[in-house]
A and B are shown apart, each in its own frame.
Chain A
Amino acid sequence: MSEHGVDSNQIRELGRQALGDAHLQEAYRSSTLRLYTHRLAAVSEVPGFERLRERARELKREVMDHLDFYLAQFAENVERRGGIVHWAESAEEARSIVGEIARRAGASEVVKAKTMVSEEIELNPALEKAGIRPFETDLGEFILQLSGERPAHIVAPAIHMTRHDVSDLFVHNLHSQPTEVPEQLTAIARRALREKFASAGMGLSGANFAVAETGTVVVIENEGNIRFCTTAPRVHVALIGIEKLIPRLADLAVFLRLLGRSGTGQKLTVYTSLLTGPRRPGEDGPEEMHVVLIDNGRIATLADEKMREALYCIRCGACLNTCPVYRKIGGHAYGWVYSGPIGALVTPQLTGIQNARELPFASSLCGACRDVCPVKINIPDLLLHLRSEAQERAPAPTPSGAALGERTTIRLWAWAMKRPWAYSLGSRLARWGQRLLARGGWIRKIPMYPASGWTDGRDLPALARKTFRERWTEIEKQ
């Protein structure tokens, strides 16, 4: 996988590699199962969870339908509380805004909280190039910074690694003693990071929610590192994708009840921080607070009435943990920073369908994701929509081993399906042809795509000697 850019069309190949790696399979299997089970237990404890989901969805719809209003309100309130608002249309703009803030602050080191949008805009390499050292302080992100990988999961970025892998990584990079005790691994990371919190001139975070009514940035976490990042350094910068807005502070109660439970099965995460402006006289906290509101393709999604729903996502990760495809191929197969069902929606939207045309197809459309989504995004429906966009705007290359392109095949198929005589003739020809291939009612191998895709891993039942329609005249008489 290349370090920059999008590799999403490699999904089949990367997925195949992941499937061949037993160690990786076990890491994904056990972790997703744990999160999935915890979610189930946490959700079953809440009476009216369904109504909560409905409410959250309504709220998100309200925000997306009037995003201009809520953005303006949020920005105004941030400024009223002494914060500084920046607008970034693209990843590049966002990177240069952050670089500029750091330069003005004289910060040569930046401590970072876990933020997916920072991964999205590929901030770290840009900071490094500008001579600013970013330090990831979330344990998972810290691990990835050492291993040089992208997040494998939107909530648990190092989900693909076992404790043993992490221990090895630490031994190798930090010269620590090998250990598989989670607390000890955390302690090793803490030691490596501790002085950075004190010395860094700038702290960087994302936002789980941005409250329009009050200009508040809400971040949730379990490790306490976000508190440090957002309060200890002199300058705090919050990177916020514009879909993170919620209308009122009171609405936060709805979302917080959903997010922890859906993501990790926690009633609430250990810390919930509400950050409203920089510190006021006599308080602790940063002297300067900046919020960077990032579009980077979101407004285009908003303009697409069908896809707008994807912006409701609160990044809980439940759809990943539940997805039988994600569990098999893992996060890196999706080729960019967002993975799983939501990644298959977001990546084509934010990076262009041609860069990610295969993602919407990497789903059996089983709908398990929709069942767990706290804001009830109809993920299969949106995947189907993207599939048709893909076929229109970035037609499929002819698969290897195929006699015809996919579109031509489907056209021929549709032509025959509209003509019962052609359908029947095709069926007769196929039955005649299969005599060469079938043994005892089964076909082991067909060399031509798409049937070859089938027989790669399973046998194909032979077509019945007599179709139902051919039997019908008999049946009718009985």
Chain B
Amino acid sequence: MSNPAIAAKPRVALFITCLGDQFFPQVGECVVKILRRLGVEVTFDPRQTCCGQPAFNTGYRQEAREVATRVLDLFEGADYVVAPSGSCTSMMRVYYPELFHGEAEKLAKVERLRTRLFEFSEFLVKVLKVEDLGASFPHRVAYHDSCHLLRELQIEEEPRRLLRAVRDVELVEPQDNQLCCGFGGTFSVKFPEVSVAMGEDKLRAAAAAGAEYLVANDSGCLMHLAGLIHRQGLPLKTLHLAEVLASQG
């Protein structure tokens, strides 16, 4: 394997995301494991917290700006910033420019961040140019397109390519696979009935397609879906893509 990116030994600053840090630290561990195996040097700055999305999405822009400003400063020196979340990546890539509208100095920082920021699956396929990570996962898997990954970042093929390269995995596409799962950040607690009803549709479709696992790249969606599965005792499991890719069967 001669991969120019690997030869150059890229340095990645991991943005673990607040949900990833608090609820799914094992996902972060998988990300680190995979990146290291590919010859990447991973750094983690423990001063990081959240990208500011919860405040921004709930309409509190001042508070979001305060939190986001820290992110801009923390990652100024990094070669690459990688986040295992479509939602947080889209917050930084798509919505920071809007959040800092009219603030030239911050916008310059946003621009610098945007050129170096990647969602995890995107980083693997587009920057490192790898698809086969040598993983093995003998199960039937449905990949859930989280909305921000799909519609804000247009990342649709990368996770599927990575999954297809996994040994023994069977990838199924449930009906209406690109329909929102109903998480939606604070939407999930402001409109819980609707949020839950949307999630139920998602799970029903996955079960009908015979999936054992629902795999996604966003902790929010996964928390929501896993919470529903657990409440209703359904025969389905959820995993983050990184967990599947780090799996040895």
A304 at the binding interface (Cβ < 8 Å)? no
Question: How far apart are the CA atoms of A459 and B199 in the complex, in Å?
Answer: 13
Comparing B103-111, B163-171, B190-198, B208-216, the segment that makes contact with chain A is B190-198
- B50-A417 in contact (CB<8A): yes
Contacts A364-B195, A365-B147 hold; do A427 and B22 have CB atoms under 8 A apart? yes
Interface residues in A48-104 (C-beta closer than 8 Å to B): none
Min CB–CB distance A377 → chain B (angstroms): 14
Interface residues in A419-437 (C-beta closer than 8 Å to B): 420, 423, 427
Question: How far apart are the CA atoms of A466 and B28 in the complex, in Å?
Answer: 12
Residues in chain A near residue B178, CB distance under 8 A: 368
Comparing A158-166, A212-220, A384-392, the segment that makes contact with chain B is A384-392
Interface residues in A453-478 (C-beta closer than 8 Å to B): 453-454, 456-461, 463-464, 466-472, 475-476
Question: How far apart are the CA atoms of A371 and B186 in the complex, in Å?
Answer: 23
B77 at the binding interface (Cβ < 8 Å)? no
B67 at the binding interface (Cβ < 8 Å)? yes
Comparing B1-9, B56-64, B122-130, the segment that makes contact with chain A is B56-64
Contacts A364-B182, A367-B151 hold; do A407 and B195 have CB atoms under 8 A apart? no
- B230-A324 in contact (CB<8A): no
- B21-A15 in contact (CB<8A): no
Instruction: For chain A, give the interface size range.
Output: 35 or more
- B59-A388 in contact (CB<8A): yes
Residues in chain A near residue B58, CB distance under 8 A: 361, 387, 391, 406, 410
Min CB–CB distance A307 → chain B (angstroms): 14
Comparing B113-121, B131-139, B221-229, the segment that makes contact with chain A is B221-229
- A460-B227 in contact (CB<8A): yes
- B191-A362 in contact (CB<8A): yes
- B231-A457 in contact (CB<8A): yes
A363 at the binding interface (Cβ < 8 Å)? yes
Min CB–CB distance A35 → chain B (angstroms): 15
Question: How far apart are the CA atoms of A411 and B67 in the complex, in Å?
Answer: 11
- A414-B63 in contact (CB<8A): yes
B46 at the binding interface (Cβ < 8 Å)? yes
One of B29, B148, B186, B196 near A450 (C-beta < 8 A): B186
Residues in chain B near residue A450, CB distance under 8 A: 186, 189
Residues in chain A near residue B184, CB distance under 8 A: 363-366
A191 at the binding interface (Cβ < 8 Å)? no
Min CB–CB distance A394 → chain B (angstroms): 10
- B191-A458 in contact (CB<8A): no
How many residue pairs at the A-B interface have CB separations less than 8 Å?
A: 192
Interface residues in B130-185 (C-beta closer than 8 Å to A): 147-148, 151-152, 178-180, 182-185
Encoded as 1 (CB less than 8 Å from any B CB) or 0, chain A from 400 to 421 comes to 0000001100110110111010
Residues in chain B near residue A460, CB distance under 8 A: 223, 227
B70 at the binding interface (Cβ < 8 Å)? yes
- B190-A361 in contact (CB<8A): yes
Residues in chain B near residue A152, CB distance under 8 A: none
Contacts A366-B180, A384-B57 hold; do A12 and B228 have CB atoms under 8 A apart? no
- B44-A453 in contact (CB<8A): no
10 A-B pairs closest in CB distance: A364-B184, A453-B189, A387-B59, A458-B227, A366-B180, A457-B196, A367-B151, A414-B63, A468-B25, A391-B59
* Other 15 A-B pairs with CB < 8 A, given A364-B187, A464-B25: A12-B193, A15-B191, A366-B184, A381-B98, A384-B98, A417-B52, A442-B227, A450-B189, A453-B189, A454-B227, A457-B192, A457-B193, A457-B228, A458-B227, A475-B32
Give 24 pairs: A residue, B residue, CB < 8 Å, sorted on A: A362-B194, A365-B185, A366-B147, A388-B60, A391-B59, A410-B54, A413-B54, A414-B67, A416-B49, A420-B48, A420-B49, A454-B189, A458-B196, A458-B199, A458-B224, A458-B230, A459-B228, A459-B231, A460-B227, A467-B21, A468-B28, A469-B21, A469-B46, A471-B25
